[in-house]
Structures are given as C-alpha cells and as structure tokens.
Structure 1
Amino acid sequence: MTLAILCAGQGRQHRDMFALTGDVPEAAHLFPHAATLLGASDPRAFVRSETDEALHRNRAGQILCTLQALAASAALAASIPNGAIVAGYSVGEVAAWGVGGLFEPPDTLNIVARRAEAMDAATRAGDGLVFVRGLSRGDVDRLCERYGAAIAIVNPGDAFVIGGSREALNGIAVAARAMHGPRIVDLPVEVASHTQRLAAASAEFRDILRSACVEFPPAGGARVLSGIDGAPIASAETGLDKLAAQISQTVQWESCLQACLEAGATAFLELGPGHALSAMVRGIRPDLPAHSLDDFRSLEGVRTWLSRHLGD
C-alpha cells in the first residue's frame, strides 16, 4: 500500500488552519521559526487576529501554507511510511521538498519566504489569477492568446488557473461567461504565478537555491514530484532547476496526480489548508481513499485512517 501526500498552495488559508498542528510537540520548533519570518507574529495568533487580506498576501500566505504542511508532516511522521509519494501544488511544491526530506523544515520556511520576496519584486501591480472550469483546453488557449494571459495551472476535469493582468483576466471572465456554462472564480492571489510574467523571479529564485542544502536521495525514500511535468526528481541539480522554473512555467497538476496513480498510490492525504487537492483526487478516482487534514477532528483520527488504508 502506497501513500501519496499532497501539499496545498495558497488560497485556502483560514482561522483554524493550525487547530490540529499548533500544539503538537513534534512541530513546536517550527512556529517560533515561522514567527521570525512574519514580523515576530506567532502564526497561530496571526491567522486568528489578522484580516483576510493579510492572510492572503503573497509572502504571508506562502509561509503559512508551507508551515501547515511541515507541521502536519512532523506530527504524523511516525504514521507515514517510507517511500511515500509527495507532490505540491504551486508553493506547495517547496513544502513537498521539506515534507519529503530534501530540505530541512526550517530551511524550507526560509526558502519559501525568499521565493515570495522574489515573486513580489517581479510582480506588476494588478496581476493575479482566475479559475475557470468547463471550457476545453483549446478554448482556454484561445482566450489567453486573445487577452494576453497564460495558463498557470492545469487541473483535472477541464479546470484551469489563468494568470495575467487584471485587465486581461476581466476580459477572459466576460468572454468565458458568454460561452455559457463555465465556472469562473477570482482567486485571492496577487501575483500571476506560473506565467512568463514572473520570469525574473525564476532567475532570482534559482540564484537563491544555489546556497540551499539538499539531501538527495532523501533518507526516507520519498518520491517527490516536479510540478512542471509530474516527473520524480532525479537529482538535486535538475530538481532545483525545475523548482525555480515552476514560478514562471505552467504547473501540470493533472500530470502530478496521474504520476501518483501510476506509481501505485492507494491512498491520498492532503496536508492542507483546505480540501481542494483531495477533492480533485476523488473526482478522478472515487474508489480511492482521499482526505485532507481539515476533514479530521484530531490527529489521532488521521493516524487511525492512515493505519486502516495503508494496511498496518
């Protein structure tokens, strides 16, 4: 039995995102470290006291989502078997390197903070992302070409995230609605992630990663997937190249999920925040168990679920 661990991207931050992980001894060292990156604000207090706008600012959002994945992984380490498959959605790919043992957890938080800073420096005012479901890939490509935008993420089931200027995204939204049927949602993200508008950030992040300490292969035998093609990381150098390129290239999330299935994944655990990734798995493989940490009331419940579905 093989577990696939999914690390979420930005957009699903919420007040109770650390309800299960905030007080566990195994993750106790991570919260003070994250606080040093959040202006000395404890992340557990930050998510409860700050405005929704503050929670969804690019840098804070990336740190919070990465912290959640790392804290959950630390809390559940004894229940996660060696050889797990680990995939991350958008910034979740950096978290996946930490969860999979390629980066040390405190280093992962430092790296993701600098990633966000590089992205913010390269971002043009008004850039963002929009989600579109219900149009074919060809229709989405044509809309992007017409309005000067780009596909940022390819999800299963004709679902796409599109990045560009607010003017371009508004034009796409109007045109898509006129085509009848599609679901269109503005995402609470302030950058055109995974498009060429952030090419300068990819270059900057690759320079940052030159000083990163990477343990390859990871001690626990995890298979960490690259977001831009769904392929397992074959070496530290090529993996870092892809991790940097991902900022300005389309994330092939549908391919990542397919790669998990082809590698024999029999259960999927999303570390959160949110349920979006596990819901995608259930959409394409309703016969397989797939849940998010947010579905559970306790870590013991997560451990029991893992034991049941991994045959321990």
Structure 2
Amino acid sequence: MTLAILCSGQGRQHRKMFALTGDAPEAEQLFKHAATLLGGRDPRDFVRREPDETLHSNRAGQVLCTVQALAAAAALADAIPHGAIVAGYSVGEVAAWGVGGLFEPAATLDLVVRRAEAMDAATRAGDGLIFVRGLSREDVDRICAHHGAAVAIVNPGDAFVIGGNREALNKVAADAEAMNASRIVGLPVQVASHTERLAKASVAFRQVLRAASVAFPPAAGARVLSGIDGASVMSAGTGLDKLAAQISQTVQWASCLQACVEAGATVFLELGPGSALSRMIADVRPDLPARSLDDFRSLQGVRAWLARQLAA
C-alpha cells in the first residue's frame, strides 16, 4: 500500500487548526520559528486570538498553513512510510517540498514568507478568488475571457477557482449563476493567485529560490508532485522553476490527484487545515481511504488509522 500526503492551501484556517499538532514535542521548534515570522506571536495563540481578517491575510495564512503541514509531518514521522507521494494545493506545494524532504522545515517557512511578500507586492487592490462548480471548462474559460478573469485552479468534478479583480469576479459569478452553476462562493483570499496578474511575483520568487538549498533526491524517497502539471519533480532546477511559475499559472489539482493514483497511491492523508482535499478524493475515488487530520481527535488515532490502511 502506498501513502499520498496532501498539503492544504489557504482559506481553511480555523481556531482549532493546531489541536492535534500544537502539543507535539517534535513540532515545538517549528512553532517557535513560525512565531518569529508572525511578529513574535506563537501560531497556536495567533489562531485563537487574531480576528478573522488577520487569520486569512495572505502572509499569515501562508505561514499558518505551512507550519501546520510541517508540524503534522514531524509529529507523524514514525508513521509515514518511505517513498510516500506528496502533493500540495497552492501554498501547500511549498509545504510539500518541506514535508517531502526537499527543503529543510525552517527554510520552508522562510520561503513561504518570501513567497507571500512577492505576491503582496504584485497584487492590485480588490483582487481575489471565487469558487464555481457545475460548469464545463469551456464555459468557464469563455466567461473568464469575457470579463478579464482567469481560471486559477482546476479541481475534480467541474470545480474551478477563478481569480481576478472584484468587479470581474462579480460579473463571472453573475454569468455562472445565470448558467445554473451548482455552487458559487467567494473565497477569503485577497490575491488573484495562480493567474497572470501575479507574473511579477513568479519572477521575484524564482530569484529567491536560486539561493534555496535543495536536498535532491530526498532521503526518505518521497515523490513530490508539481502543481501546474501533476508531474513528479525529477530535478531540483526544473522543480524550482515550476514552483515559482505556479504563483501565476493555473494549478492543475485534478491532474495532481490523478497522478497520485497513477503512481500507486492507495491511501490519502490530508495534513490540514480543513478537509477539502480529502473530500475531493472521496468524491472521485470513494474506493480509496482518504482522511484529514481534522477528522481525528488525536495523533495516535491518525497513526492507528494509517497502520490499518497501509497494512490492508
């Protein structure tokens, strides 16, 4: 049996997101390092005390989601088998490089801060994202082209994240509703991630990555996937090119999940926050066990579930 680890993106931060990882001794140094990136505020206190607007701000959101993934991987290191497949959704792809052993954990957190800074510098006021389900890709592309928006993420089951300025997104939402889209939701993200509006951020982040230390191939034999095409990272240089390009190119998440299955993944564990990614697997491949850390009450429960599934 082969484990696929899914690293969540922004938008699902919540007050109890560190309920399982917050007390893990293996993660203590990660939380301390993350605090230095949050103005001295411990992430575990940050999520409990800060207002929702701050919790979902770009820089804070990227740090919080990344430290959660890294903390979970550190706490569960004894239960994660050699040769796991690792994929990350949006900023979760940077976390995936850390979870997969390509980046050192502390360096991963430093990199997501630089990523967030590059994105904020390139972002225009009023930019954001919406979610649309129930239309074909052709229809979504046509609506986006008409209003100056773009598909940011392709999810399974005719589900799309769309980026642009607020006026364009409102028009896309109105057209999608008129075309009987089954779901239209504004997302708590203030950047048009994974669209050409952030082209300058891709260039800036690639410059940052030139100084990054990469352990390739990773010691634990992990297979890390690239978000823009679902392909395995086969070299550090090409992988870093794609990691930077992902900021301003469409994330093909449906292809990533399909690549996990084609690579032999039989068990899926989402590190959180939230359970959106594990639910996607449950929707498209209900025969494959898929859970998120948020589904469990303890790390021991996660370990027990992994042991059962991987032994099946």
Q: TM-score, normalised by structure 1?
A: 0.99
The whole-number CA distance in structure 2 between the counterparts of 1:79 and 1:130 is: 36
Provide the residue aligned with 1:185 in structure 2: 185
The whole-number CA distance in structure 1 between the counterparts of 2:138 and 2:239 is: 30
Q: CA RMSD in A?
A: 0.6
Q: Structure 1 residues 181, 211: CA separation in 2 closer, same or farther (over 3 Å shift)?
A: closer
1:75 aligns with 2:80: no
Provide the residue aligned with 2:267 in structure 1: 267
The aligned amino acid for 2:161 is: V
CA offsets 1:240-297 (integer angstroms, 9 cap, x no match)? 0000000000000000000000000010000000010000000110011000000000
Provide the residue aligned with 1:311 in structure 2: 311
Provide the residue aligned with 1:288 in structure 2: 288
Where do 1:24-103 residues align within 5 Å? 24-103=24-103
Provide the residue aligned with 1:278 in structure 2: 278
Provide structure 2 residue ranges, at least 5 long, that are not aligned to the other structure: none
Provide the residue aligned with 1:235 in structure 2: 235
Provide the residue aligned with 2:134 in structure 1: 134
Shift of 1:182: 2.5
The whole-number CA distance in structure 1 between the counterparts of 2:179 and 2:20 is: 43
The whole-number CA distance in structure 2 between the counterparts of 1:293 and 1:24 is: 14
Provide the residue aligned with 2:204 in structure 1: 204
The aligned amino acid for 2:227 is: G
Shift of 1:179: 1.1
3-state secondary structure, aligned to 2:78 = helix
Shift of 1:205: 0.1
The aligned amino acid for 2:298 is: S
3-state secondary structure, aligned to 1:211 = coil
The whole-number CA distance in structure 2 between the counterparts of 1:80 and 1:103 is: 17
Provide the residue aligned with 2:124 in structure 1: 124
1:252 aligns with 2:252: yes
The whole-number CA distance in structure 1 between the counterparts of 2:181 and 2:251 is: 24
Provide structure 1 residue ranges, at least 5 long, that are not aligned to the other structure: none
Where do 1:157-168 residues align within 5 Å? 157-168=157-168
Shift of 1:181: 3.8
The aligned amino acid for 1:103 is: F
The whole-number CA distance in structure 1 between the counterparts of 2:181 and 2:71 is: 39
**In the alignment, is the contact (CA less than 8 A) between 2:132 and 2:181 conserved in 1?**
no
3-state secondary structure, aligned to 2:132 = strand
Provide the residue aligned with 1:23 in structure 2: 23
**In the alignment, is the contact (CA less than 8 A) between 2:66 and 2:109 conserved in 1?**
yes
The whole-number CA distance in structure 2 between the counterparts of 1:300 and 1:202 is: 39
The whole-number CA distance in structure 2 between the counterparts of 1:148 and 1:233 is: 32
Shift of 1:180: 1.6
Q: TM-score, normalised by structure 2?
A: 0.99
Where do 1:219-234 residues align within 5 Å? 219-234=219-234
- Sequence identity percentage: 77
The whole-number CA distance in structure 1 between the counterparts of 2:179 and 2:294 is: 35
The whole-number CA distance in structure 1 between the counterparts of 2:89 and 2:32 is: 25
3-state secondary structure, aligned to 1:79 = coil
The aligned amino acid for 2:143 is: L
Where do 1:134-153 residues align within 5 Å? 134-153=134-153
